[in-house]
Amino acid sequence: MPLPPRSTSGRTHVTTVTRRVAPAPETTDAVRFPQGFTWGTATAAYQIEGAAAVDGRTPSIWDTYSHTPGRVRNGDTGDVATDHYHRWREDVAIMADLGVSAYRFSLSWPRVQPTGRGPAVQKGLDFYRALTDALLENGIEPVVTLYHWDLPQELEDAGGWPERVTTDRFADYAALAAHALGDRVKTWTTLNEPWCSAFLGYGSGVHAPGRTDPVAALRAAHHLNLAHGKAVQALRAELPSSARASITLNIHHVRALTEAAEDLDAARRIDALANRVFTGPILEGRYPQDLLQDTAGLTDWSFVRDGDTATIHQPLDFLGVNYYTPTLVSAATGEAGHGSDGHGASEHSPWPGADQVAFHRPAGSTTAMGWAVDPSGLYDLLMRLKADFPSMPLMITENGAAFDDYVNPEGEVSDPERIAYLHGHLSAVRRAIAAGADVRGYFLWSLLDNFEWGYGYSKRFGAVYVDYPTGKRIPKASARWYADVARTGSLPGEGPRSH
């Protein structure tokens, strides 16, 4: 995963993107992925590991949330998940067979540091040491995410992300992890999708810990930003200078329903809450003024202290980008309500200060999540990031789709819809690269079918089918398709390509 020297953003970015950018033509250059392009796959600890009370692990907020009646579909929990904690050798062998060059996975904070305080548990670290060793032995680069939503429950009991002290606990945890794994792991991500942690966890309540306080959500967003900055500092202090640090954001590609001024303003407002609340301080060292004005009726942002934005604004080696579907908005007509924003049903909005914005489901085909299949959104998003942050390398750290997969009588899983989804989105990535976007790699979400948060086990994102009662793994047709793409560096059906 070759990357240039770490860099900060060098330019103030536009307020929002609402129109499609013309795609680059399929020239000879456009059909090639770059030499050294990273082909990976990704998972998250709570979604796959299981072993929820094994070897010293204590509950996270997702253990508590999933065990609360009515929170997760069918009463599902991550207690067993795909049992990756015991079957990791099999899963590494599957990745080796697929020929991927990198594996992005998260550490379980309560497995490494059960209470969120104090020394690490060696058995937890030994699990990740053995996993990373096996990856390296198979030529697969380990890419570690420190936090994929599993805050130790004791820290939530003390106030969670809305409280400033949690940022110090996270920095301590980052230092422990880096000290233990820094000799094996060269690429680190601090947070995965802090928007979900803040606004779904503390705003709409459809994610753990299930709180519904818009001010707490804004406080959580700031403290997640601050935790990121402190964690980068902790990583730099522990790791060699060649190590790479990043953050992964689920940057929403926001489109206005019409060109009317009120719809364009709705898109601006959601762009601030979805994207610039993070990219502003992380990449530019300041919160956007329109965000502060939009939310002034809720908070004066006094929880942002002198020096915070400087701490948040740490040099990064690349920006992780997760994309699944675009976001379509307009000004609300009639009764206010956030509508179908694609993030789960709740009487409470994850959009503080945006009560007059309505969300719309785009036309066209959808995945099993009800999300529109629209690769043009990924192309447009990458071109926006190229324009806004021209010196920042990009990595697609999640992209994929859930469909209603099943095992046929021959014992196989055919998933042509997923193959079509991946083909379209990889074509969009390739066009963006040809148009100048500095995209260094692509991680397919996900390696395995798994616990899909509030949807439990009802949604399957994996390239590998998991029979949950037995744990049996069955690579889907899309896994074989993706293996061919990773091996050749080109999309099937286009003939051989040189690199």
Residue with tokens 């942690």: 197
The verdict on whether 398 is a catalytic residue reads yes
Residue 301 burial (C-beta neighbours within 10 Å; 0-12, 13-18, 19+): middle
**Contact partners, residue 101, CB within 8 Å, separation at least 6:** 1, 38, 39, 40, 139, 140, 141, 486
**Contact partners, residue 488, CB within 8 Å, separation at least 6:** 496, 497
What six digits make up the tokens of 154?
A: 């004791």
**CB of 114 closer than 8 Å to CB of 57:** yes
Q: How far apart are CA 150 and CA 62, in angstroms?
A: 6
Q: How far apart are CA 177 and CA 122, in angstroms?
A: 11
101 cis-preceded (ω within 30 degrees of 0): no
**CB of 224 closer than 8 Å to CB of 296:** no
Residue 444: what are its φ and ψ, rounded to 5°?
Answer: -75, 130
Single out the catalytic residue among 238, 398, 417, 452.
398
The verdict on whether 193 is a catalytic residue reads yes
Residue with tokens 């950018």: 21
User: What DSSP state is assigned to residue 451?
Assistant: -
SS3 327: strand
60 cis-preceded (ω within 30 degrees of 0): no
Instruction: Please give the single-letter amino acid code of residue 329.
Output: V
Q: How far apart are CA 58 and CA 16, in angstroms?
A: 42
What six digits make up the tokens of 129?
A: 């040491």
Single out the catalytic residue among 49, 141, 156, 193.
193
Q: Return the active site residues.
A: 193, 398
